[in-house]
Amino acid sequence: MINRMRSVQLLPVWGVQQLVQGHARVSTSSVSLTTTTSSIPGPKCYPVVGTLPDILTDKEFDKDQIHLYFMKLFKKYGPIVKIKTPGEPTTVLVLRPEDCREILQHTRENPVRTPMGCLKKARYNNPFYEKKGGIVIENGEEWWRVRNKVQVPVLKPKYVRSYLHDMDLVTQDLLERISRLRDANGEITVNFKEELEKWSLENICLISLNQRVGCFDPNMVPGSEPDLIVKAARNFMSSLKDCESGSKLWKIYPTKTFKQLQQSMDELTKTCEGVLQEIEANLERVQREEEMSHHKLNMVELLLREPGLTRKDVLTFMVDLIPGATETTSDNAAVVLYQLARNPQVQVKVQEELDRVLGDGTSPITHHHLAQLTYTKAVFKESNRIMPPLLGPVRILQDNMRLGEYTLKKGWMAFLMSALTAWDLEEFSQPLEFVPERWLRHRPLGSIHPCASLPFSYGIRMCPGKRIAEQEIFILIARTLHRYNLDWKYGDLERTHKFVFSFKETEPLKLTFINR
């Protein structure tokens, strides 16, 4: 058996100056492979503190650049590494996509992942939720009871397409906002990431609240409902990331950050409760007046009428959609626009496709238009490969399993590093290059393993908002590049990992939009 020791390629856009090139194949004569769990390579593990000393003695370690530390481990120990930190289960880091697929297949019937402990505690502390956390944090039967019901309207293309026209209008409002925010040279004068957060929030509220909230209203005043929703969603994700990536003192007592998480969650719950009452009242009126045959159900109404879902299940799902979708979709959008601005040759190809499909762009975008944007969709896939939102899926093993010559124990955590796999020369030709063509149907740069890039996770635990986010971003790319040429006048932006990947808050996204 051959065990591949990789020297992983590091991307300069992630703040790494020196690239490590090439491969080294290491045979079983130099790496001991046995069937005992202790043979899984990794830093020396001590009683109580586990492998923590390896981190403490690493002068270059940065908790907000944890992916670089994991890269070091793979380079030193190979594509499967075992670590143990205090308070956490034994963790196996997995790099090779074929190993990732084996773990995902083994856990497919009951894909248990690590719960967001701080959110679970905040929700369980609120008697309103009756100790039910929703699909974001639950596992097992309770998770599947809700997930099995909500995934039909959320992932079914015809339901997602029903919001396409309104999402198109939201994006056109963003473009009007861009025209007002540019200076004489076309550069945005504010941090454009914040504008994308408003755009994403406005889009997701079409679904979770069944209404526009007015994020782009020039007359929006501090303290208004749209302003409060924007701040609550932002504070929710900020405090969630701080709690999950920082110290776990919130487990002992309610820290300031944990209190902020609770407060923002309660504010979103209150907002969704008010909206849900309005939706229920309207649905009752329609039923009373026998107009159901002419009434087109929105997504919340579909969920309310779904057997097996309680009212609080629906409300919890509404609450979870707002901050989660706002954060991840806006960051995804920021990355793809940033990459397009840095790669003008790709822009030209996208614009040629858009001009052919959309014509003069005066008509509303339809799903027939989106179906023809094959190169635009390849751009989105490549953006998610080179700058993914997450390191990769996590699975808590519910029984022992074999992975090659190793035994992984029940209760261990398998961390599938698809983000790092996607930068590996052995999996992708030209991994440091932004090459959307690799995703085209004929795969001109070679075949791609299905588990080599997993930005939305995998299987029945796949992100439920995947199709919604894709539709939002396809519309954004189409409308933006049909109207503007993008430019980036600065150096490489650095990305940090704090629960999720995002651009450093100290480095604003100041894109330049030039009229075509």
Q: What DSSP string describes 135-147?
A: TTT--HHHHHHHH
Mean pLDDT throughout 460-481?
95
Helix-strand-coil split of the chain, %, nearest 5: 50, 10, 40
How many whole angstroms separate alpha carbon 100 and alpha carbon 453? 11
Longest dimension (CA), the chain: 78
Question: Tokens representing 510?
Answer: 């100041």
Beta bridge partners of 138: none
Q: Phi, psi (5° rounding) for residue 402?
A: -95, 135
Residue 282 scores a pLDDT above 50? yes
Give the mean pLDDT of 253-282. Answer: 93
Q: Which amino acid is at 402?
A: R
Q: How far is CA 109 from the centre of its chain?
A: 23
Cα 206 from Cα 339, distance rounded (Å): 28
Share of the chain above pLDDT 70, in %: 92
Distance separating alpha carbons of residues 94 and 392, to the nearest angstrom: 10
Range scoring the smallest mean pLDDT among 319-323, 391-395, 481-485: 319-323
C-beta atoms surrounding 233 within 10 Å: 26
Listed by start position, the domains of the chain span: 117-382+460-480
Q: What is the pLDDT of residue 374?
A: 98
How does residue 409 score in pLDDT terms, banded at 50, 70 and 90?
Answer: very high
Mean pLDDT of the chain, nearest integer: 88
Structure-block tokens of residue 86: 């205090």
Residue 464, token pair as written in the block: 């439920």
Mean pLDDT of 38-66: 91
pTM: 0.90
Helical ranges in 18-96 per DSSP H = 52-56, 66-77
Confidence at residue 36, expressed as pLDDT on a 0 to 100 scale: 55
Q: 117-382+460-480: what fold? A: Cytochrome p450 (1.10.630)
**463 carries a ligand binding annotation:** yes
The H or E element that residue 201 is part of is helix 192-208
Q: For 339, what's the count of Cα atoms within 13 Å in the CB-facing half-sphere?
A: 28
Of 76, 64, 83, which Cα lies nearest the Cα of 31? 76
Question: Is the confidence at residue 499, as pLDDT, over 80?
Answer: no
**Crossing angle for the helix pair 256-288 and 225-245, nearest 10 degrees?**
130
